[in-house]
Amino acid sequence: MKVAVGIFSTPVWTLDRKYVTELRQQFPQIEFAQAFSASELEAMIADADVAFSSMVRDSTFAHARRLRWIHSSAAGVGASLFPALVESDVILTNSRGVQSASIAEHVLALTLAWRRGIHTAVRRQTARQWAQNELATLSPPRFAQTRALIVGMGSIGKETAALFERLGMHVDGLGRRARDGRPGIDSLPRLLPDADVAVITAPHTSETEHLFDRAMLARMKPGSLLVNIGRGRIIDEAALVEALAQGRPGGAALDVFDREPLSADSPLWAMENAIITPHVAGFGPRFWEGLVDLFAANLRRWLDGQPLENVVDKQRGY
């Protein structure tokens, strides 16, 4: 049996060789081949039974002759859902849940920074300006008077809701469909105008593509905050730039973008009411260990003929 490991991109998104060495020690009966480029992955996947990778694309998949399972090192699998894979019998699992706590804490940090004007204070610090008068005018409501709307109630959404609720915030959460008393995403236009903070944690699917378009953004409360740690393509970025200039929403805290890295000529960089972090919300203690441990646990299930965890519904996209 052979496992092709292909987790490579920028340095921070590349799996260190030591983790593959540990997998070899845990599973001496399995051959592990590690790729660091698309061409290497294409060659290694040809005779692999399993792929531990978020980099399998249509062109790579075309080389696979006996592949039966792909475990993505990412939670979002939109780029992996090309027609050939969706129509095949190959199982796709993802790494949802591993990063949820770190991402929820990042959302909280962004929300608190916005409420207290920390982003403005840092800009004024860089300019050596004493902004006491400017920052003293901020008067955010108490948490008990703050309403948050979380769009996407998977593991990240639930973790975020729990943190917000501990602070006394009122939290509404939207799932894909209405279920168990929780509204579905079709309730977004109704609930969004009352939200002081709207957090996008949903996956990118055909249903959520540009969900926050010009019309939806116009429904946001003046002075409210839009946080996106889901996928960049859920927001129409051009429409967001226009909306921020008009104050609806009052601010945006973004960790994901339509194209990454965010272009240096994007107006978002210079906007006073935008907080930008470079797709780092998921990083935290034992980030790689958590991903590898999840794959190893699933691999044991695979070998034992047990059901796998985090199986993706390839038709729904998550």
Asked whether residue 318 is assigned to any structural domain, the reply reads no
Tell me: do 145 and 261 sit in the same domain. Answer: yes
The tokens for 144 are: 């008990």
The active-site residue, picked from 134, 209, 260, 289, is: 260
Tell me: do 192 and 264 sit in the same domain. Answer: yes
Among this protein's residues, is 182 annotated catalytic?
Answer: no
The tokens for 318 are: 């998550």
Tell me: do 92 and 159 sit in the same domain. Answer: no
Tell me: do 73 and 201 sit in the same domain. Answer: no
Asked whether residue 57 is assigned to any structural domain, the reply reads yes
Tell me: do 124 and 59 sit in the same domain. Answer: no
Among this protein's residues, is 300 annotated catalytic?
Answer: no
With a pLDDT cut of 70, the percent of the chain lying above it is 100
Q: Is a pLDDT exceeding 90 seen at residue 152?
A: yes
Instruction: Give the tens place of pLDDT for each residue, 202-227.
Output: 999 999 999 999 999 999 999 999 99
The active-site residue, picked from 204, 219, 248, 279, is: 279
Structural domain boundaries enclosing 26? 2-98+284-304
Tell me: do 175 and 226 sit in the same domain. Answer: yes
Domain with 37 in it: what CATH number?
3.40.50.720
3-state secondary structure of 111: helix
Tell me: do 113 and 68 sit in the same domain. Answer: no
Sequence-separated (6 or more) residues with CB below 8 Å from residue 293: none
Predicted local distance difference test score (pLDDT) of residue 54: 95
The tokens for 112 are: 């608190």
Which one, of 317, 315, 311, lies nearest residue 69 by Cα?
311
Residue 131 φ then ψ, to 5°: -100, 35
Q: Which residue intervals of 169-307 are DSSP H helices?
A: 188-191, 214-217, 237-246, 287-304
93: enclosing H helix or E strand? strand 91-93
Using DSSP bridges, classify how beta strands 50-53 and 31-34 pair: parallel, antiparallel or unpaired.
Answer: unpaired
Predicted local distance difference test score (pLDDT) of residue 285: 87
Tell me: do 148 and 183 sit in the same domain. Answer: yes
Residue 73 CA to residue 52 CA, distance in Å, equals 7
Instruction: Give the tens place of pLDDT for each residue, 30-59.
Output: 999 999 999 999 999 999 999 999 999 999
Residue 310 CA to residue 318 CA, distance in Å, equals 9
Asked whether residue 26 is assigned to any structural domain, the reply reads yes
The tokens for 195 are: 């939200």
Which one, of 42, 91, 86, lies nearest residue 65 by Cα?
42
Instruction: Give the tens place of pLDDT for each residue, 188-204.
Output: 999 999 999 999 999 99
Domain count, the chain: 2
Which one, of 150, 241, 152, 253, lies nearest residue 195 by Cα?
150
Predicted local distance difference test score (pLDDT) of residue 180: 85
Asked whether residue 35 is assigned to any structural domain, the reply reads yes
Asked whether residue 72 is assigned to any structural domain, the reply reads yes
Tell me: do 86 and 41 sit in the same domain. Answer: yes
Per-residue confidence band for 181, with pLDDT thresholds at 50, 70 and 90:
confident
Tell me: do 168 and 118 sit in the same domain. Answer: yes
Asked whether residue 313 is assigned to any structural domain, the reply reads no
Sequence-separated (6 or more) residues with CB below 8 Å from residue 310: 93, 94, 95, 96, 97, 294, 298
Tell me: do 180 and 300 sit in the same domain. Answer: no
Predicted local distance difference test score (pLDDT) of residue 31: 98
Query: Region 251-266: what's the mean pLDDT?
Result: 97
Q: What is the distance, to the nearest Å, from the Cα of residue 185 to the centroid of all Cα atoms in its chain?
A: 18
Tell me: do 66 and 108 sit in the same domain. Answer: no
Half-sphere exposure of 149 (CA within 13 A, CB side): 21
Q: Is a pLDDT exceeding 90 seen at residue 251?
A: yes
The active-site residue, picked from 231, 233, 237, 248, is: 231
Asked whether residue 52 is assigned to any structural domain, the reply reads yes
Instruction: Give the tens place of pLDDT for each residue, 279-318.
Output: 999 999 899 999 999 999 999 999 999 999 999 999 999 9
110: enclosing H helix or E strand? helix 100-115
Asked whether residue 311 is assigned to any structural domain, the reply reads no
Among this protein's residues, is 71 annotated catalytic?
Answer: no
Long-range pairs, 233-241, Cβ under 8 A, ≥24: 233/204, 233/209, 233/258, 234/200, 234/202, 234/204, 234/208, 234/209, 234/210, 235/200, 235/210, 235/211, 236/210, 236/212, 237/266, 237/268, 239/212, 239/213, 239/214, 240/212, 240/268, 241/267, 241/268, 241/271
**Tokens 């080389």 appear where?**
63
Residue 143 CA to residue 130 CA, distance in Å, equals 28
Predicted local distance difference test score (pLDDT) of residue 267: 98
